[in-house]
Each structure stands twice: as structure tokens, then as C-alpha cells.
Amino acid sequence: MNAATEAHHLQIMLDGESMAAHWMPFTANRQFKQAPRLLVASEGMYYTTHDGRRVLDMIAGLWCCNAGHRREPIVRAIQEMAATLDMATPFNMGHPAAFTAAARVIAMAPANMKHVMFTNSGSESVDTALKIALAWHRQRGQGSRTRLIGRVRGYHGVNLGGTAVGGIVGNRKLFGALVAGVDHLPSTHLPEVNAFSRGQPAHGAYLADELERLVALHDASTIAAVIVEPVAGSTGVLIPPKGYLERLREICTRHGILLIFDEVITGFGRTGAAFAAQRYGVMPDIITCAKGLTNGSVPMGGVIVSGDIYEAFMQGPEHLPELPHGYTYSAHPLACAAANATLKLYADEGLFARAHAMAPTFEDAVHSLRGTRHVIDIRNDGLVAGIELEPRPGAPGARAFEVFLACYQRGLLVRTTGDIIALSPPFIVEEAQIAQAVDTLREVIAQTA
């Protein structure tokens, strides 16, 4: 866009009436439209705002841009694909980049993961995974296994299945009965014993035993799958207690229940390994992913499954689809081009190892906020951290939202959920940028009422 077009574009955007048309997702629309915050460009660790300021992005877009913004090999791959193949019908036709992207994903996934079905988002990945779990049991003659188990404070996107297994009341209460036959494990958040833990908290493995209680209540023969985020991200960064995921795995295996890890945030290096399954040494049956798959550049998600799951479907007449499921834009050429370039870039630059190496510096920096006014907990693993503030009486979320706004004014982008500030920088983050972010947060939090 040339400068004149850009200025014209902005003028239209900032005109009150034009802004009204865009019903913004997960946004306080009225507050935003009174004082818009527009991002107009990005590069590396920074955004440029509409008022010409540079903002340090400490949330990688939205847990997406693990390699930093607008990386040249990814941009080039997307441009080249757009100029070569715009759309390739994904049903009964294929294109080479889809197969390469799938092979790359499987090469970095845990060893038991053999196949991936592409989607266009994390929410689609979750609902696809839940459907695969239900269908898999039926394929094997266990059609009574229809219950799905999520977890309190889980976030699995916004489609009906994901909302149902999700455990954030504000995301659920407006939407009626959601999906029948869903139950929830308790949250693993135990601030009274685990506050200010570095890495995996010591207490809480016993919370996995609640699955035994649900089995006793419903009977294993009715339960299809358990879905959890290895690290719960959107609910405010909850790191799994030591031994918790292992125990969940054992109980699922004992009762023939599929274990789904929702790795939409943790996938592609966030915890310092390609997937959190590898970081914590616990292998699920299905992994959902998105975000970092294309470095956030083109919408794309994926459902990664074990060989067992895929093979159970490979039967019946060969002229019929084995699974009646898929999206018009599944494995879209632009997304696959972006994924191929992204996954190559992660490998070429050793970015997961960099995230792992930078994690102790990041940990020390965020924990230096302990003792700052209002801060009641700090938790972290890999390059993700949550800083929890005491809620203002009668106004939950208000204090953290003010911190978010003040940080933005000072050139720092953070994410807040409730009264928790989440940090998840791109893996190219430098020590000085971590220090700058933490210093800004320290000042802003201390000055917030």
C-alpha cells in the first residue's frame, strides 16, 4: 500500500461509523471503538501502531508467531504459492505442499503420532479431534463410548464441542446446553500450595484421580475421551503439576479412554520442545495444534493422531471417504506453503532449542516481579508465563485490563485474561527485550490502583 492509500484507509477506519461495522471478537467493542488500538505493520519482535509507535510484542501475536513477525522465507513462500495455485479442492484431490507439510509435522511430533488432518484453526482442530474420538470407538464396536471429559478452566476454542469441554464459565454460560454427555475434571490450579512455582508445581498429581471418580460415576464403557491442555494457556497459564499428566495417561489407558492433548498453544516449541507431550514425556493418542503451525501467518490447524486411530478407519469400500469430515479450506495451498516454510525455519534456526535455552533467563526475569504490589502468583515454563494480580474488589479483570492499556501506551503488548497477565514472546526474543518488558510491567503494575 502506498502512503496516500494507507492514510485514506486509516481515515476510514478511524471514522466512528465505519468502525461500528466490525463486531470484534473477544473484545470490549465499546471501549475499543472509543480509543482504537490499530496494528498496521509488524517485523521481528515489534508491531507498528496506527499512531506510528513501535510496540514490543511479548505475546507472539496471540501465542502464534514463534519465529517472530513477517519472516522473509514465510512471506516468500506464501507469495509464490498465491501466484501459482490459489485453491485446490481438498476433497478427492490433493496438492504437493499438503503432503510435505503433513510429513514435516509428523517428523517433529511424538514418535507414536503418524498422521495429521489439517483444519483452519484451533477451534476446528478441537471439534475435529472430538469427532474422531467418538467415531474411532464406534469403528471398533464400542459405540456406547460417547462421553467427553474436559477440565475446569480448560480452553478449547469456541465451537460447540470445544465450548462444551471447555471450563471457563464466562465462555459457556450464554450458550445453553452445548453438547450432551460432557463432564469435567477439576482445575489443577492450587495457589494456596503452589504459588510462585518455577516450572512444574510440586502439588496436584492427585487431581488426575478425579478421572477415576468420573469412571465410577459414568462407567468407562460410556467415556470416549479426555481432553486437556498440557499447559492451560488462555485461562491464565497453568503449568501441569509434577506427575499429573502421567497419572491421567495411566488412568485413560487402564479404561480404554482416548487422551487428547490440546497443544494449540504449546505446539511448536512454546515449552522448549516441539510439543508439550515431549517436554513432559507423556504421549497422548491425539494432539490438536494450530497457531505456531504457520507462525500465525495464514490460518491453519491440525489434528495429529496415532497410527492405531488412523488404521481403524482404513476399511470398508475404497471409493468412499473413510471419515465424512473436512473443511473446504482444509490444507489450503497458502496455509500449506506457510506451514512448510515455517517448520523449515524453526529447524534451520534451531528455534525450539533457543526457546529452551532462553527459558531460565525468562523465568528469573518474570519471578523478579514477586513482591510488586498486587502480584499474588507467578508461574512459568519454557517461554510462557502468567503473572496473577489480586482482583480489585467488585471489579474482576479491571486491574489487569488497566495494566494492559498502560503497557500498550508504553510500547509493550501483553495479554490479559481475568486478572492474569500472560507473556509468550517469540523465540527470537533477546535478553534485553525480556528485561524491558519486565521493567515496564513492574512500573505499570505498581502504579495501577
Ligand X SMILES: Cc1ncc(COP(=O)(O)O)c(C=O)c1O
Please report, as ranges, the residues that interact with ligand X according to CB under 6 A: 121-123, 126, 155-157, 229, 233-234, 262, 264-265, 290
Q: Which is nearer to ligand X, 122 or 167 (CB)?
A: 122
Q: How far is the CB of 421 from ligand X (least distance, A)?
A: 16
Q: How far is the CB of 31 from ligand X (least distance, A)?
A: 21
Q: How far is the CB of 412 from ligand X (least distance, A)?
A: 21
Q: Which is nearer to ligand X, 260 or 389 (CB)?
A: 260
CA 212 vs CA 74, 181, 255, 373: distances in Å: 46, 17, 9, 41
Cross-sheet strand order for the sheet of 412-413: 39-43, 46-49, 54-57, 412-413
C-alpha cell at position 100: 510435505
What sign has the CA pseudo-torsion 227, 27, 440, 39?
positive
CA separation for the pair 37, 409 (Å, rounded): 10
Q: Which is nearer to ligand X, 338 or 444 (CB)?
A: 338
Q: Which is nearer to ligand X, 55 or 264 (CB)?
A: 264
C-alpha cell at position 194: 503452589
- Amino acid in position 274: A
For residues 136 and 123, is the Cβ–Cβ distance under 8 A? Answer: no
Q: Which is nearer to ligand X, 149 or 265 (CB)?
A: 265
**Among 89, 169, 91, residue whose Cα is nearest residue 333:** 89
- Amino acid in position 246: E
Q: How far is the CB of 231 from ligand X (least distance, A)?
A: 9
Q: How far is the CB of 157 from ligand X (least distance, A)?
A: 3
For residues 68 and 428, is the Cβ–Cβ distance under 8 A? Answer: yes
Is 119 strand, coil or helix? strand
CA separation for the pair 162, 172 (Å, rounded): 10
How far from each other are the two terminal CA atoms of the chain, in whole angstroms? 42
**Among 156, 196, 237, residue whose Cα is nearest residue 422:** 237
Q: How far is the CB of 295 from ligand X (least distance, A)?
A: 14
Nearest 5°: phi and psi at 306?
A: -75, 165
Q: How far is the CB of 109 from ligand X (least distance, A)?
A: 17
Q: Which is nearer to ligand X, 262 or 285 (CB)?
A: 262
Q: How far is the CB of 266 from ligand X (least distance, A)?
A: 8
Q: Which is nearer to ligand X, 205 or 264 (CB)?
A: 264
Q: Which is nearer to ligand X, 110 or 122 (CB)?
A: 122
Name the residue number minimizing CB distance to ligand X: 122
- Residue written as grid cell 535455552: 357
Q: How far is the CB of 29 from ligand X (least distance, A)?
A: 18
Q: How far is the CB of 195 from ligand X (least distance, A)?
A: 23
C-alpha cell at position 297: 501467518
Q: Which is nearer to ligand X, 298 or 438 (CB)?
A: 298
Cross-sheet strand order for the sheet of 113-119: 113-119, 301-306, 286-289, 258-262, 223-228, 147-151, 182-185
Q: Which is nearer to ligand X, 332 or 367 (CB)?
A: 332
For residues 363 and 380, is the Cβ–Cβ distance under 8 A? Answer: yes
CA separation for the pair 234, 156 (Å, rounded): 9
**Among 79, 159, 121, residue whose Cα is nearest residue 329:** 121
